[in-house]
Chain A
C-alpha cells in the first residue's frame, strides 16, 4: 500500500540555526498519526514543510495525492469572506464551478455541526469554536487525501476540544483521509491517533513511536487515561515531552 504522505530525511534551518534534521515519517492512507514533542522542537516547521508552505533545506516530501488540507493553530479565515466562502476556498482553488460549491460546503458544514445560518456570517460574527470548526470544514471541503493539523485545538475549552477531537476521528473514519496531527497533549494524541510519533527535543530525528491499544473513537476515557499515565510514568519515549526547551524557566 502506497503511503499518503512520506517525509524522508527532512532537515531545515532558520538563519543558520538547525531546527530539524533527519526526520523520516510516513502516514498511510486512512491513518491518523499524532506527532508529539516538546514545545519549540520544530513540529510546526515540519507541518509547514509537509504542507508545502516551506521548502525543506534537506530531504524530500512526497505527497502522491497531490493536494492536502491543513488546519492551523489559529483559524486563519479570510476576514472579508463569509464562512461559506471560506469553506469553499479549496474548491475554488481546485476549479470546482461555483454552482457545485454550495452543496459541498453545506455537506461539510453539517459534518462539523455548523448551522446553515452561520454560513452567511463573516468570521468576526462567529465564536472562537465556530471559527475553528469553519477552518476544519475548509480542510475537509474538497476531500483531500491528507490533512495536516497543527495543534488546532489548544485555544479551545475542554468540552469543545473533546467535541472537535471526536469530529476529527469521525471525519477520518468516514472520509478516509490520512492525518498528521500535531499536538503536545498526550491525552489528545491517545484519543484520536492510530499511532503516536515522538520527536526528539532538539528536532534531530524521531525518538520513537507507539500504538495506543484499540482504535481511535472506540477508546473510552478510562483506557485513554490509563495509557497516558503509564506512558508518562514509565515509558522513556515520553520522558521529554513536557520539557521546557528554549523557554527554560528559572
Chain B
C-alpha cells in the first residue's frame, strides 16, 4: 500500500466530510417520507369513503403521474412551470436580499419599508395576477411577475432581520482590526443574513411553485397550471390529481436537491454547537506497516 501524501489526504477528508453532510441532509428526507405515507393513508381512506370519481386512489394517481412522466411533452410542461417559478424566485432572491440588506443596515429605511410590505403581502396574489395580465398580457412575464411579487416580501424581511439582529460586538471587533464597511458586510453581514434567510427561502420557494401553477391556470399560460385546466375541462380527476402530485414532487425535489444541501453547507458550525454535535469517536491511528 502506498502512503497518501498529506495534501491528498486532507482533500479526501474534506470531500468525505462534505459528502457525509449532503448524505445527512438527504437522510433527513426519510422523516418527511413517513409524513407523506401518513397523508397517503388518509387519502386512501377518503377514496374508500367517497368513491373513485370524487377522489381517485393514491396508487392510481401515482400510476397516472408515472404514465404522464413517460411522455416527453409532460416534461416540457413541468420544465416550463419550474423555469418560471425558478426565474421568479431567483429574481425575488436578488431583489429581496439586496434590498433587505440595505434596509437592515438603515433602520430608517426598514421603518419606511414595513408598511409597504404589509400592503404588498396584504394584496392577494390573484389581484397581482389580474394586474400583471392587464399590464403584460398572458404569457411568461405575467407568471414571472406574480411569482416574484409573492416571494419577495418574505425574503426581504428575512434578509433585513438577519442584518438588523447582527452581533454589533463582532462589528466593533472587525472595525478594531481595520475592517472597512465592505469587509464587514462580506464577512459578518452576509453570514448573519443567512441564518433567517434559509427558512424564508424554503417558504418562498414553495410559494413560488404554488403561485406559478395558479397563475398559469388562471392566465391560460401553459405549464402545469395549463395542464390542470385541461384536465378540469375534461373532468379527468385522476389526471388533475396526478398533476398536483407532480407539482408537489418537483417542489420537494428542488428543496431537497438545492436548498437543503446549501443550507447544510453554510451551517456546519451549528452542528458543532449542538450538544449532540459531531460525537464520533476518534479514529485509531493507522497501523504502520513494515
Interface footprint category on B:
20 to 34
**Are B269 and A69 in contact, CB atoms less than 8 angstroms apart?**
no
**B177 to A69, Cβ gap below 8 A?**
yes
With A76-B169, A125-B277 as given contacts, are A93 and B176 in contact (CB-CB < 8 Å)?
A: no
B124 interface residue (CB < 8 Å to A): no
**Contact present for A122 and B176 (CB under 8 Å):** no
Interface flags, B266-282, vs A, CB<8A=1, else 0: 11110011000100000
Stretch at the interface among A47-55, A190-198, A214-222: A47-55
Please, which residue of chain A has its CB at the minimum distance from the CB of B266?
Answer: A80
**A153: CB under 8 A from chain B?**
no
CA distance A90 to B169 in the complex (A): 16
Residues in A with CB closer than 8 Å to B188 are 78
B177: chain A residues at CB < 8 Å are 67, 69-70, 89-90, 93, 138
Given A78-B191, A122-B272, A52 and B179 contact (CB-CB distance below 8 Å):
no
Q: Are B272 and A124 in contact (CB under 8 A)?
A: yes
A122 to chain B: closest residue by CB: B272
B249 interface hit (Cβ, 8 Å): no
Q: Contact check, A51 vs B191: say whether CB atoms are below 8 A apart.
A: no
A52: which of B176, B273, B277 is its contact (CB, 8 Å)? B176
Contact (A148, B176) CB under 8 Å given A72-B169, A93-B183? yes
Q: B172 on the interface (CB 8 Å rule)?
A: yes
Inter-chain contacts of A121 with B (CB < 8 A): 272
Determine the chain A residues whose CB is within 8 A of the CB of B175 once the complex forms: 51-53
Task: Name the residue of chain A whose CB is nearest to the CB of B175.
Answer: A53
B178 sits at the interface (CB 8 A): yes
Whether B174 contacts A94 by the Cβ 8 Å rule is no
B interface secondary structure, majority: helix
Of all chain A residues, the one with the shortest Cβ separation from B169 is A76
Residue of B175, B187, B267, B269 with highest tally of chain A CB at under 10 A: B269
Which residues of A from 60 to 85 have beta carbons under 8 Å from B?
67-70, 72, 74, 76, 78-81
Chain B residue at minimum C-beta to C-beta distance from A75 = B173
How many inter-chain contacts with C-beta < 8 Å in the A-B complex? Answer: 65
For residue B15, CB closer than 8 A to chain A, the reply is: no
Q: Give residues of chain B (237-290) contacting chain A, Cβ–Cβ below 8 Å.
A: 266-269, 272-273, 277
Residue of B169, B191, B273 touching A74 (CB-CB under 8 A): B169
Q: Is B42 an interface residue (CB 8 A)?
A: no
* A:74-118 near B, CB below 8 Å: 74, 76, 78-81, 89-90, 92-94
In the complex, are the beta carbons of A67 and B273 less than 8 A apart? no
**Would A125 and B183 count as touching, CB distance under 8 A?**
no
Contact (Cβ within 8 A) A89 B269: no
In the complex, residue of chain A having the shortest beta-carbon distance to the beta carbon of B195: A80
Q: Is B170 an interface residue (CB 8 A)?
A: yes
Nearest residue (CB) in B for A90 is B177
- A70–B173 touching, CB < 8 Å: yes
C-alpha gap A79/B191 in the complex (Å): 10
Residues of the A chain whose Cβ atoms lie less than 8 Å from the Cβ of B178: 52, 67-68, 90, 93-94
Closest to B180 in A: A93
* Cβ-defined partner of A68 (8 Å) among B176, B179, B269: B176
Residue in chain A with minimal CB distance to B274: A124
B191 and A122 within 8 A (CB): no
What is the distance, in angstroms, from A229's C-beta to the closest C-beta of chain B? Answer: 35
Q: A80-B191, A90-B178, A125-B277 are in contact. Are A48 and B269 (CB under 8 A)?
A: no
Asked if residues A79 and B269 are in contact (CB atoms below 8 Å), the reply is yes
Residues of A with C-beta under 8 A to B174? 89, 93
Cα–Cα distance between A94 and B178 once the two chains are bound (Å) = 8
Q: How far is the CB of A237 from chain B (nearest CB, A)?
A: 29
Q: Which chain A residues border B272 with CB–CB below 8 Å?
A: 121-122, 124-125
Contact status A80-B170, CB under 8 Å: no
Minimum Cβ distance to chain A for residue B277 (Å):
7
Enumerate the 6 nearest inter-chain pairs by beta-carbon distance, A residue then B residue, closest first: A124-B273, A51-B176, A122-B272, A70-B176, A76-B173, A80-B269
Residue pairs across A and B with Cβ atoms less than 8 A apart, 26 shown, are A51-B176, A52-B178, A53-B172, A68-B176, A68-B178, A70-B173, A70-B177, A72-B172, A72-B173, A76-B170, A76-B173, A78-B170, A78-B187, A79-B269, A80-B191, A80-B267, A89-B174, A93-B174, A93-B177, A122-B269, A122-B273, A124-B269, A125-B272, A125-B273, A125-B277, A138-B177
B residues sitting closer than 8 Å to A (CB atoms) are 169-170, 172-179, 183, 187-188, 191, 266-269, 272-273, 277
Residues of A within 8 A of B (CB): 48, 51-53, 67-70, 72, 74, 76, 78-81, 89-90, 92-94, 121-122, 124-125, 138, 148
- Given A76-B169, A81-B269, A94-B178, 12 more A-B residue pairs with CB atoms under 8 Å apart are A67-B177, A68-B176, A69-B177, A70-B177, A74-B169, A76-B172, A80-B267, A89-B174, A90-B177, A93-B178, A93-B183, A124-B277
